Structure 1
Amino acid sequence: MLASGARHRYEGRVHREEILGQGTAPRDEYRWHRGPLNLLLLGSDSRDGEPDQGEYSGQRSDTIMLAHLNGARDAVTMVSIPRDSYVEVPARTGVWDGGRNKINAAFAFGGAALAAETVHRLTGVTIDGVVVANFAAVRTIVDAVGGITVCLPYEVTSTTTGRQWTAGCHRLDGNATEDLVRQRHGVPGGDLGRILDQHLVVKAIAQQLSPTSLIANPTRMDRLLTTAAESLTVDENLDLTDLALALRHVRTERIRFVTVPVSDPGLDTPAGSAVLLDSQAAAELFTAVREDTVDRWLTDHPRYVSTTD
């Protein structure tokens, strides 16, 4: 465990919000020390020029991942929920009457708190902590770990900067990484293809931290925790040092990535073109997360697993 002075160093830098409430059923205070953990990772982006929708107008959660740490504390499964998934979004007084909408609209209607409640209701998964990062945070974290190497299975062209990445491996700094994870029009599969890019980037960050773990390398741990504390918004009860300690036995090869099964990627809805989840297959995945049987689910459903090697 880190000394109390070190903890205060990070706690004084982090931005906190009251995110997890009654609708997300947080666990007891000992959850960080034993058993499985489920974290919600939200990547936010602003949408200037959109109609006013309250305090969080113009923002969307373009990245939505459930990170499941198994009970043995030696494997993490990142479960991506497509940003345009057409789901039930709970009401927010004066902003949204409730009903079906794209899941990323929840952030615009009620910030991370409503996004977390929406994910909890969709999955039935108890959420133990929430981390919110904008694209600028991705840039600073990548630079903090010294850059990353991402191996793309296809060619990607940036529609914003004109950068081109051929199929193959590329060394990226923070700016290039931010550019890559923003792309969805120049990526095969559109938003579903961008999810794979996000998986590749997360895996690459984890690889950059190996083979020396954060616990064994205090300088790197300090740099990353300081950057994270200054770049991220977290739930008021999430302790970044406890989180780092909980993850200390997870090897890079034991980080797996999966996308929630989809039955229709181009569903016509009142909210525009949306993604219809495969209700049965998705329910089986969410049950596996709740019951900590994800390994079995991954073995039985290999086609939903992202290839990041």
Structure 2
Amino acid sequence: MIEEQLRETFERHETLAPSSAPLREAIDRAVRRRRRQRRLTRRLAGATLAVAAALSLPFAFRDAVQPPFVGDTFLPGGAQTMDRPLTVAVLGVDDDGGRSYRADTVLLAHVPAASHTAYLVSLPSDLLVEIPGRGRARLGETFYYGSERRDAAPDPGAGAELTAGTITAATGLPIDATVTVRYSGLRAVTDALGGVEICVDQEVSSRHSGRVFPAGCQRLDGRSMVDLLRQRYGLPHGAYDRDANGRAFVRGLLAGDVNDPVRLARVVQAASAGIDVAGTGISTPRLLQVAAGVDTVRSVDIGSNFRGITIDRVSYQRLDPALSAPVFAAIKENRLTEWAQANPRAVR
């Protein structure tokens, strides 16, 4: 409206004033710039929701990490609790370099009713499961079977849905939502921050690139970070050491400087392309409100030395029922808080 009034004013006085062409061009540029800003604002509003989903990122690595603060601007209604228990499957998916989508990390994040504590239960990606309608496989492969499409790009949403159903069949636990964190998204966020400093306890040799990452602290770009986080072979404790490096990445990520508005916008947009949140029993905004209200994150031990089994020359892992069954029962019956208090040595 203001721009049109200015144009009309200049047209009425064109004979009395110098050529208005330069000024008209400046006004047109301002209009185009304002329209671009409005479009960017709308995109950032949607992408901001994905950054809020990054609250779940610490859940993907088994450590007690204080989640970052997300204010009311990000979450309509602010942080809240639920009047019923909530169980979320968090999936760390290796989609880097055009690889088939498989879940390297499978974690259950459980928040009891009216609680501000999230309890984390890690499931081995090599866990022997029966995929509904497909037969025997490893749990981490379930995402691949769900997401793979003939002559088309993989469908992460379908992969997450099938994985959630398989977890329910294996544990008896209903899954209210899934959070899928893709390695390509972690790479983009790392680059948007200008690199992330990570401190590792031991030297890591990449079987993919041949690079050797020394023990100690180092600042890595996105591609190098993903290369490091993918490594488990050659490490003394395999996937468990890989998880430790993941926790180190999370600590470096949360320490990243996003005070610069331009850098923050880049991080927001990068996260929107790499983190997917889907709810079957809860809406995404509601899930994020609950996540923002979590102020304590604790890990529940269901055993770290899983029992191995070989079937048709394929190695799988099995849970120890003595350790896992009581935890699953407590989650299902909304009494995990009481169970944790009665079993302090199994919770950290």
Bin the TM-score by the shorter chain: 0.5 to 0.7
Aligned to 1:231: 274
**Distance verdict in 2 for CA 1:122–1:225, change over 3 Å:** farther
Matched, 1:127 2:127: no
The root-mean-square deviation of aligned C-alpha atoms, in Å, is 4.1
Residues 177 and 265 from structure 1, CA distance in 2 versus in 1: closer, same or farther, beyond 3 angstroms?
A: farther
- TM-fit CA distance, 1:7: 9.1
| 1:82–1:259 Cα contact (<8 Å) kept | no
1:116 — aligned with what? 164
Q: CA deviation at 1:147?
A: 4.4
| SS of 1:247 mapped into structure 2 | helix
- For structure 1, the 5+ residue unaligned runs are 15-31, 50-56
User: 1:203, 1:255 within 8 Å by CA — same for their partners in 2?
Assistant: no
Shift of 1:227: 2.9
Larger Rg computed on CA atoms: 2
Distance 1:112 1:171 in 2: 32
Shift of 1:185: 0.5
Cα 1:289–1:151 change in 2 (3 A) is: farther
Q: Deviations over 1:266-291 (max 9, x none)?
A: 42223611212112201222234332
Is the Cα–Cα contact under 8 Å of residues 262 and 275 in structure 1 kept in the other structure?
no
Give aligned pairs, total: 266
Which residue number corresponds to residue 10 of structure 1? 46
Contact 2:81 2:116 in 1 (8 A): no
What amino acid does structure 1 have at the position aligned with 2:185?
A
- 2:89 is matched with which residue? 40
Alpha-carbon distance between aligned partners in 2 of 1:13 and 1:134, rounded to the nearest angstrom: 16
Structure 2: stretches of 5+ with no match in the other structure? 1-40, 51-79, 147-158
Q: Give identity over the alignment, percent.
A: 30
How far did 1:156 drift?
1.9
Q: Which amino acid aligns with 1:229?
A: S
Q: 1:105 aligns with which of 122, 141, 148?
A: 141
Alignment CA distance shift 1:38-1:236 (3 Å)? closer
The residue identity in structure 2 corresponding to 1:39 is V
Deviation at 1:166, TM superposition (A): 3.6
Higher helix share: 2
Counterpart of 1:180, as a letter, is L
The answer to whether the aligner puts 1:198 opposite 2:246 as a matched pair is: yes
Is 1:246 the counterpart of 2:294? The answer is no
Structure 2 distance, partners of 1:107, 1:264, is 21
The CA deviation string for residues 44-75 of structure 1, in whole angstroms up to 9 with x for no partner, is: 235999xxxxxxx9432222111223445533
Deviations along 1:53-98, one digit per CA (max 9) or x if unpaired, are xxxx94322221112234455333332211101123221xxxx2x2
- Tell me what 2:200 maps to: 152
Higher strand share: 1
Other-structure match for 1:137: 185
- What SS is found at the alignment partner of 2:175? coil
**Quick check: 1:183 aligned with 2:231?**
yes
CA contact (8 A) 2:300 2:346 kept: no
How far 1:117 sits from its partner (Å)? 0.4
Q: Equivalents in 1 of 2:102, 2:203: separation in Å?
A: 26
| Distance in 1 (alpha carbons) for counterparts of 2:81 and 2:293 | 13
Q: Conserved in 1, the CA contact under 8 Å of 2:131 and 2:137?
A: yes
**Correspondent of 2:297 among 247, 255, 279:** 255
Alignment of 1:67-82 (within 5 A): 67-82=109-124
Superposition deviation, residue 183 in structure 1 = 0.4
Indicate the larger mover: 102-111 or 241-250.
Answer: 241-250
- In structure 1, what is the Cα distance between the partners aligned to 2:256 and 2:97? 35
